[in-house]
Chains A and B, each alone.
Chain A
């Protein structure tokens, strides 16, 4: 992994969350491990309030490096963090 990649967290938004956030991915520059709350604070600087409401809604799930996790959790430079919308219709 190059130095450039290792200084950022790649944040992905899946399906309907992509539309709420109006983007697929964001890169957040960090120099060391940060908590999920700190990552959300960094996202808040980049995204409109409606996007933050969608991302913090009940049962939106987070995956770090393709594993669904329960906060609190620390994320590292080089990690991929994905936001996934809840789905229940059938």
Chain B
């Protein structure tokens, strides 16, 4: 694809980076990213992927904007209260970058529909808030061999990981956690400090851009833990579990 003058100017600060260049920007413009969840993590992830020029964003969330979301879900605004999150987010993103295509999926993706959406994506961003959907998304990504940028955040702590099912050595989300009950771990019961989701969701956007452009080294095979109270990061190696029921042999 050939970029027009406006695109060359819009993305000039990124194209200026020798590792990105015109070729890298074109990869971004040709990419499709599925973002599941437009809450605390999905907001900054969607904003940065939109501004950076990912050509097609598939926005998926069945929920509507609530006043209690606005403390941290920065893609939504006061005027969006009561609206579908996909509509509220799409309006904000289109307002910042009308150059990209935004698809909206205002319901929970399951089964074949989930697999179809995943299989036409370059990368999937898991910005959901519960284990059940995370495991389902992980299974779909492993089956269709689409990289999954996964993150979670609660209270003052967060984690980011990249599971790249194209790489036979890569672990998957199920190698990290066993399927079980997560009833006590949501934001409404535990609380979450506003900028935490910004820090972690922005890391997801960064890893997604690196995956698409092929720049640098991705987090594949590691989990990055963040403790906001101490501004402390720990990067831990996560080996593939040979007995994993999802990605194991």
Q: Does B5 contact A (CB under 8 A)?
A: no
- Known contacts A66-B236, A84-B236; is-contact A61 B185 (Cβ 8 Å): no
Q: Flag B15-47 by CB within 8 Å of A: 1 or 0 each.
A: 000000000000000000000010111100000
- Known contacts A15-B229, A59-B177; is-contact A85 B236 (Cβ 8 Å): no
Q: How far is the CB of B225 from chain A (nearest CB, A)?
A: 6
Cα distance A89–B134 in the bound complex, in angstroms: 11
Does the CB pair B185–A86 fall under 8 Å?
yes
Q: Flag B149-184 by CB within 8 Å of A: 1 or 0 each.
A: 001111111110000000000000000111011100
Q: Flag B189-228 by CB within 8 Å of A: 1 or 0 each.
A: 0101000010000000000000000000000000101010
Q: Does B124 contact A (CB under 8 A)?
A: no
Residue from the list A58, A61, A85, A87 in contact with B180, Cβ < 8 A: A58
Cα distance A15–B154 in the bound complex, in angstroms: 11
Residue from the list A63, A82, A87 in contact with B185, Cβ < 8 A: A87
Q: Flag B227-247 by CB within 8 Å of A: 1 or 0 each.
A: 101000011111101000000
CB contact list, A2-52 vs B, under 8 A: 14-16
| Chain A interface residue count, Cβ-Cβ cutoff 8 angstroms | 19
Does the CB pair B234–A14 fall under 8 Å?
yes
Does the CB pair B237–A90 fall under 8 Å?
no
Give the chain A neighbours of B129 by CB distance below 8 A: 88-90
Does the CB pair A90–B37 fall under 8 Å?
yes
Q: Does B90 contact A (CB under 8 A)?
A: no
Q: How many A-B contacts if CB must be within 8 Å?
A: 87
Give the chain A neighbours of B7 by CB distance below 8 A: none
- Known contacts A15-B227, A59-B178, A61-B176; is-contact A87 B130 (Cβ 8 Å): no
Give the chain A neighbours of B130 by CB distance below 8 A: 88
Cα distance A15–B186 in the bound complex, in angstroms: 16
Q: Does B187 contact A (CB under 8 A)?
A: yes
Does the CB pair A89–B181 fall under 8 Å?
no
Give the chain A neighbours of B131 by CB distance below 8 A: 88
Residue from the list B42, B154, B238, B241 in contact with A89, Cβ < 8 A: B154
Q: Does B121 contact A (CB under 8 A)?
A: no
Q: Does B128 contact A (CB under 8 A)?
A: yes
Name the residue of chain B whose CB is nearest to the CB of A84.
B225
Give the chain B neighbours of A63 by CB distance below 8 A: 236
- Known contacts A86-B182, A88-B129, A89-B129; is-contact A68 B236 (Cβ 8 Å): yes
Q: Does B127 contact A (CB under 8 A)?
A: yes
- Known contacts A86-B185, A87-B185, A88-B182; is-contact A67 B237 (Cβ 8 Å): yes
Name the residue of chain B whose CB is nearest to the CB of A87.
B152
Q: How far is the CB of A2 from chain B (nearest CB, A)?
A: 24
Does the CB pair A68–B151 fall under 8 Å?
no
Give the chain A neighbours of B176 by CB distance below 8 A: 61, 68
Q: How far is the CB of A1 from chain B (nearest CB, A)?
A: 21
Sample (21) of A-B pairs whose CB atoms are under 8 Å apart? A14-B157, A14-B227, A15-B156, A16-B157, A59-B182, A66-B237, A67-B239, A68-B176, A68-B239, A82-B234, A82-B236, A84-B236, A86-B177, A87-B154, A88-B152, A88-B186, A89-B153, A90-B37, A90-B39, A90-B42, A90-B152
